[in-house]
Amino acid sequence: MTHLGSSSVAHFLETLVLCSEKAATIARLIRTHSLFNSLIQRKCAREANARFDIDLKTLADVLIQEGIRYDLEKAFPSLGSSVHGEENNSFQNSFGEVISLNITDPVIQLTNTLEDILTGDRALARLLSQVVLRPLDSFRTHTAVQSAISDTCTTSLNDVRLDLSLCGIWVDPIDATAEYAEGVHVRSSDSFILTDPIGQQHSLTPCILRHIPGTLANVTVLIGVFDRISGIPFLGVINQPFYRPADSECLETDTSAQSGRLFWGFRLLDSTSPTASLCQIPVSSTSVYRQVSFDCPLEEVRSDVLLRVACSYPEVHRLERIFQSWSPNSSASPTVVLLSSPGAGFKLMCLCRAEIDVYLLLSPSTYFWDTCAPQAILRSLSPEGGGLIRLSAAVAAVRQMLTDSHSESSGLISSISSRLTEFQVVYTPKQPNRDLTEYRHSDGLLAYRNGQLACRLLLFLAIALPSA
């Protein structure tokens, strides 16, 4: 591999944040263009060319992914090859022509390529080309960027150097693609909010079910950076392009710099790690080991409140059956609220913001690009850090502990806690000609903010889940 040199964490982070904001701008622009709307309308009326509709939705994904690769390569030569994602850069337009999208200067060249992909819509092709090739610094004035990056929150990272040759990057250019295509307008509410009060009738119910329908607010852009040697994610950016606060005066079709919001988190690898040389920290800055862009302290686990478990909609009823043996309102087990809403990135973002307590996924339906960025942010939330666990492996290990141990529950919790690091998801670079299933989380997932809560849930699931 070509040696890429180093960068300050502050500069690298700001570049990723600006890449995410350019991606958000492209997503908003494509989504509100009349061509996109007409295709969606014809599809609903069973009149659309399905192939062309898929191409346009894919164009947003691939144009963003290739745009991130282009900008990172421009800022850090040779880093572009370290950017990995679900998409390749080939398209088949409505004429059946296969076209490769390689982002290069000048604007006219990219415009011609996009015009071929869009089967003649030169106006949209030119507009997209101009945005894709805009300098990253031109996005600094956007509200989301100004809110997420300031001198006060990145100055401490200026002296921390990052060896870029040890960095791999997983990108999900548009998570919650179906919601992006459907375009249900944001109702100035972006999080898991219980839509009606929990009444007395639920006081002895192990589970309460809530489904929050998807909107454009579920759409996220995810950029996660991991250490190539250990596989540990250490820097993540989540951009929510269509977020609208409750007091927002933005129109539902607004594509301006006032739209959206973003979050980031950074955490150094453990100093005892064999790959701790990924970052070089001056002696005067040894206290700089983690940083987040938002103030959301880790809460203590309490037994007198609801336990909010985000899950996938197809798994709601299976989890409801599993949690029937959960004891509500006992000293250790609050009532469980199973919350579903589209988008793994959205649910993990809500977890980072403490709007839910855990994200539990039994089936292998998420991939590296869905989780790398959120996991990095979860790790940065506290000295102990949150995390993302390979569920099946962790449950199997806890079952073995139950077989081998005669300890009290508290002793088992301590034993599980000491092994949480062992079960963490780690990442590898994408290899040519490999099936995408190699980058799927085949063990299921348990994402958490609080390690003690994760240990309690693992102990419960080891008993409640049926053995393989």
Binding-site residues for Mg(2+) sit at 86, 172, 174-175, 370
CA distance 348 to 370: 9
Residue type for position 36: F
Reading the block at residue 397, the tokens are: 């290990």
Phi-psi region of 171 (alpha: psi -120 to 50; beta: other; left: phi over 0): beta
State the binding site: 86, 172, 174-175, 370
Give how far Cα 442 sits from Cα of 103, 309, 425, Å: 34, 20, 11
CA distance 47 to 206: 46
CA distance 86 to 148: 27
Q: Is there a contact between 345 and 172 (Cβ–Cβ < 8 Å)?
A: yes
Strand, coil or helix: 243:
coil
CB atoms within 10 A of CB 307: 23
What does residue 91 show for φ and ψ, rounded to 5 degrees? -130, 150
Nearest to 318 by CA among 376, 266, 361, 373: 361
Residue type for position 149: I
For the chain, state the CA radius of gyration. 23
Q: Is there a contact between 268 and 289 (Cβ–Cβ < 8 Å)?
A: yes
Q: Which helix (H) or strand (E) holds 8?
A: strand 6-8
Which runs of E-coded beta strand occur in 164-270?
167-175, 207-211, 220-227, 233-240, 261-267
Which runs of E-coded beta strand occur in 43-106?
83-85, 90-92, 98-100
Q: Is there a contact between 221 and 239 (Cβ–Cβ < 8 Å)?
A: yes
Nearest to 384 by CA among 317, 290, 310: 290
CA distance 151 to 142: 16
Reading the block at residue 180, the tokens are: 């992006």
Parallel, antiparallel, or unpaired for β 90-92 and 6-8? Answer: unpaired
H helix intervals, 194-272: none
Q: Is there a contact between 31 and 180 (Cβ–Cβ < 8 Å)?
A: yes
CB atoms within 10 A of CB 260: 28
What does residue 398 show for φ and ψ, rounded to 5 degrees? -65, -40
